[in-house]
Amino acid sequence: MSFGQLPYDVAHLLGGAMLLTSFVLLYQRRVPAMVNALAAQGALLAAAAAWQGMVQAAPQLYVTALVACLAKAVAIPLALRLLIRRLDLHRTVETALGIGPSLIAGVALVALAILTVLPVTAGARAIVREDLILALSVLLLGMLMMITRRNAILQVIGLMSMENGLILAAIGAAGMPLVVELSTAALVLVAFVVAGVFVFQIRERFDSVDIGFLELHRGERR
């Protein structure tokens, strides 16, 4: 399977589109639009999983696709939107890093992923290499997003995006055991944190979910 063949091209297209949505997440400043981008990334992940399920003749990947579609493209974005409405976050979001620098850092991270993965996978098949690069890039961009945003919900979105990258890597590894179990477990992690934000804001009536507020309580109060 290599460039120019349909199974490869479609897998590459879907992975590339996921990377593109990661960049959207990186520069977008409006929170609702970010949730939309996240939902789009989840839907692309579901499509990629289903496609790999067909190409690899691995029916369990359809389960991964279904779970990704229901949870990441529908349920979690809906929950986040509800949360945003309740917390009144329909305004511009501050980033610790400006759009320009964060995009430059993003491109640098993608270059880093390429430079890291290409030499070590010289023996592997082309699809494995490209898939790993795309997955690692999505992972690193998610991490960058978590670093540059100071808002709790946006950190959750960053964590979810990282996790999308992980699942992309897992479904691309042909014959990987426990893919369904691992992807579900990773999803539980994200669902847990979304639930956590929900519960704490309802119970504790935090006026703000900006983690800057929490910083007041850090360390030893002197």
Partner 1 sequence: MPLPWIIVFLPWAGALALAAIPGLALAARLNVLVAALSFLLCLLLFGYPHGVQGWTRVDALNVPFVTLAAFIGLTSALFSAGFVAAEGFDRLRGRAYHAAFQLFLGAQALALLSDNLGVMWVAIEIATLASVLMVAAHGTPAAIQAAWKFFILCGVGIALALFGTIVLYLAAQPVAGHGDTGLSWGALRAVAHQCDPGLLNLAFVFLLVGYGTKAGLVPLHSWLPDAEAEGPIAISAVLSGLLLNAALIAVLRAEVIVVANPGTVAADAFLLTLGLASVLLASVSLWRRRDARRFFAWSSIGHVGLAAFAFGLGGTAANAAGLLHLAGHSVVKSAIFFGVGHAVRLKGGQGIAEIGGLVASHPALGWGLAIAVAAIAGLPPFSLFASEFLLVTETTAQAWWLLPPLLIGLFTAAAAKIVTLQAMCMGAPRPDAGVPPGRAASLCALGPLWVHLLLALAIGVAMPAPLAAMLQDAARLLG
Which residues in the 148-167 window bind partner 1 by CB under 8 A? 152, 155, 159, 162-163, 165-166
**CB-nearer residue toward partner 1: 93 or 143:** 143
Q: Which residues contact 102 (CB under 8 A, 6 or more apart)?
A: 26, 27, 95, 144, 148
- Selected binder of partner 1 within 4, 92, 205, 216 (CB under 8 A): 216
In which residue are the tokens 């949870």 written?
Answer: 71
Collect contacts of 61-66 with beta carbons under 8 A, ≥24 apart.
61/171, 61/179, 61/180, 63/180, 64/167, 64/171, 64/179, 64/180, 64/183
Q: Could you say which of 16, 98, 101, 196 contacts partner 1 (CB under 8 A)?
A: 196
Q: Which stretch binds partner 1 (CB under 8 A): 39-47, 75-83, 87-95, 178-186?
A: 178-186
| Residue 218 contacts partner 1 per CB under 8 A | yes
Taking the CB of residue 34, how many other CB atoms lie within 10 A of it?
26
Binding site for partner 1 (CB under 8 A): 116-117, 119-124, 128, 132, 135-136, 139, 143, 146, 152, 155, 159, 162-163, 165-166, 169-170, 173-178, 181-182, 185-186, 188-189, 192-193, 196, 200, 203-204, 211, 214-220, 222
